[in-house]
Amino acid sequence: MIAERLTAQLLAGEPARDPLAVVERLLAVQGQDPRGARLAIRARSSGLSVSDVDRELSEQRTLLISWLNRGTLHLVRSEDYRWLHALTAPGLLTANARRLTQEGVTPAAAERAVTVIERSLADRGPLTRQQLRERIAAAGVRTEGQALVHLLMLASLRGLIVRGPMVDAHHAFVLVHDWLGDSKPIDRQRALAELVRRYLWGHAPADERDLAKWSGLPLRDVRAGLGAIAPALAQRPDGLLELAASARAAPTHKPAAELPPPRLLGAFDPLLLGWRSREAILGSHRTIVTVNGLFRPFALVRGRAVATWSMPGGAVQLEPFGRIARKDGAALATDGEDVVRYLTT
């Protein structure tokens, strides 16, 4: 199962050739850690650099980041944004309102902030988070603590704004209409069917509860999506689902590859967020890699986490959980050099 999931995730087998192909396969890449999202693309591709990702965000407008799925920031293809937003954003509004109240922002003040955000981006966009903070604060709305984050999230959940281009190394916000153009009505049943198909393309084998956890949708919606593509599904002896052989031509599906060579994965890597359990990858080291909701960068050897890593002074430094074979250590050192190359070109 591990080899199959690693192949689905593009961590084993033939790597992708561009950032768009990686995000297409994964559908939504955890995006609250900017470097982590970019490293997720590096680990699943060949010959790319951070500038290639930023070009897709800023010049090609093919990638963007917004609050989707479980209520966290996700990197998605621009063409997938609207239907994912229609499926997952409405269910997040209640929790967002509660958090704003906890942060001392009244409903009236929240409405005033959304108006400021929309008008500011229409007049002067793209604008960075700090630039929007200044304008919201000038309107008398609280921005301290987590208030600003949840005000920006509110505008995002309403489908008004997304994080689009890079501006002076900062990810700037833009109006959805200005950045992506006119929208078309979303057919919810078709969107649920596409969600299931695309999730299984990048995560199979998996089950309905894996998809519910990953997407943040209730099981009734997940089951509706599964029912919509029932002829394209195959159930394995272990009870997990995958796309049936007849459905694998589009998108192209390849058999599970062998386990990948040793590789460094970034913070919040999708490999740890795509299913209910991380036991197969982390084993007894779960509390080292995942700490208080944070997911640290880690090293993968034969499909298992063997170390965390950081970059003090601009060079990769491993913190092994135990002894790492010399050959594996050398491979990780080489991959560390590629991490530095990727992040600095």
**Domain end position, chosen among 137, 158, 179:** 158
Domain final residue pick, 141, 158, 175: 158
Whole domain around residue 99: which residue ranges? 92-158
Tell me, what DSSP letter sits at residue 259? P
- The predicted-structure confidence for 277-289, as pLDDT tens digits, reads as follows 999 999 999 999 9
Mean pLDDT value of segment 26-55: 97
What is the average pLDDT across 321-345?
Answer: 97
Mean pLDDT on 191-208: 98
pLDDT of residue 252 exceeding 90: no
What is the arithmetic mean of pLDDT over 225-236?
97
Instruction: Grade residue 79 by pLDDT with cuts at 50, 70 and 90.
Output: very high
Name residues whose C-beta falls within 8 Å of residue 159's C-beta, 6 or more positions apart in sequence.
85, 89, 176
Backbone angles phi, psi at 246, to 5 degrees: -70, -15
β-pair type (304-310, 298-301): antiparallel
User: pLDDT tens-digit profile of 91-128?
Assistant: 999 999 999 999 999 999 999 999 999 999 999 989 99
Q: What's the distance, CA 314 to chain centroid?
A: 25
Question: Which amino acid is present at 211?
Answer: L
- Percent of the chain whose pLDDT exceeds 70: 97
Q: Answer yes or no: is 130 within a domain.
A: yes
CB atoms within 10 A of CB 189: 11
Asked whether residue 47 is domain-assigned, the answer is no
Distance CA 311, CA 336 (A): 9
Does 44 fall in a domain?
A: no
Predicted pLDDT of residue 245: 79
User: Does residue 97 lie within any of the structural domains?
Assistant: yes
Give 150-189 as a DSSP string: HHHHHHHHTTSEEEEEEETTEEEEEEHHHHH-------HH
- Give the pLDDT of residue 141: 98
Q: Is the pLDDT of residue 255 over 70?
A: no
Is 276 domain-assigned? yes
Q: Look at residues 105, 137, 158 and tell me which one is the last residue of a structural domain.
A: 158
Is 51 within the bounds of a domain? no
62 belongs to a structural domain:
no
